[in-house]
Amino acid sequence: MTDQPTFLLRPGGPADAPAVLRLLDDATAWLVARGRPGQWGTEPASTDPRRIAQADAWAGGGGLWLAQATDRPVGALVVGAATEYVPPATEPELYVNLLVTDRAHAGAGIGGRLLAHAAELARERGVPLLRVDCYAGDDGALVRWYERQGFTATDPFTVERPGRPPWPGQVLVRRLG
């Protein structure tokens, strides 16, 4: 059992892009070590110009929230508009563009707390729908995790990537009362 960190949620900003990249790098290494490179590949996000630009955009875009332990971020959430590769919503929504947590604190409820914060943000904005997409490959464990967080799977999709295997994805929704 890992130590359960005490953390607070705080808005992120441009200076937090390196923390997002570190979380992505650590999660990618964790997945690769378990033979699961399909989700985010095998290379660190911090060495990929596309991912660096994406982290910079997230950090400067106003939708980044960090779960902050005493000494460093242990989770990141980005909310905003849906990505272009998923079917559009038919009603107003808030979209979870990124959710990543520090695997050293797995089981501490960080991801669930960040998703609860996303739902709070949507309610504050009067938006009745929270959507997210995730990797649906391997054994579907990530889809099942989101379902345990109160989401319902809706639209499966595939992202075609030149020179790389297709990326199987799943859109999930959570209606907010």
3-state secondary structure 106-133: CCCCHHHHHHHHHHHHHHHCCCCEEEEE
Domain boundaries, the chain: 8-175
User: How far apart are alpha carbons 55 and 30 in whole angstroms?
Assistant: 19
The CATH-assigned architecture of domain 8-175 is 3-Layer(aba) Sandwich (3.40)
Q: What is the pLDDT, as a whole number, of residue 4? A: 52
Give all strands (DSSP E) within 69-163, no chain letters: 73-80, 94-101, 129-135, 152-161
The whole-number pLDDT of residue 2 equals 47
List the structure tokens of 157: 């999709």
pTM summary value: 0.93
Contacts of 21 (CB under 8 A, 6+ apart): 44, 45, 46, 51, 52, 55
Question: How confident is the model at residue 34, as a pLDDT?
Answer: 93
CA 88 to chain centre: 18
Q: DSSP assignment of 36-65, as one string?
A: -TTTT-SS-GGG-HHHHHHHHHHHHTT-EE
**pLDDT of the residue at 15:** 97
Q: Which of 13, 5, 14, 27 is nearest to 72 (CA)?
A: 5
User: How does strand 164-175 pair with strand 152-161?
Assistant: antiparallel
Residue ranges of the chain with pLDDT lower than 50? 1-2
Q: Quote the tokens at residue 79.
A: 């909310």
Residue 5 and residue 105 in contact, taking contact as beta carbons nearer than 8 Å: yes
Longest pairwise C-alpha distance within the chain: 43
Tell me how far the alpha carbon of residue 143 is from its chain's centroid: 12
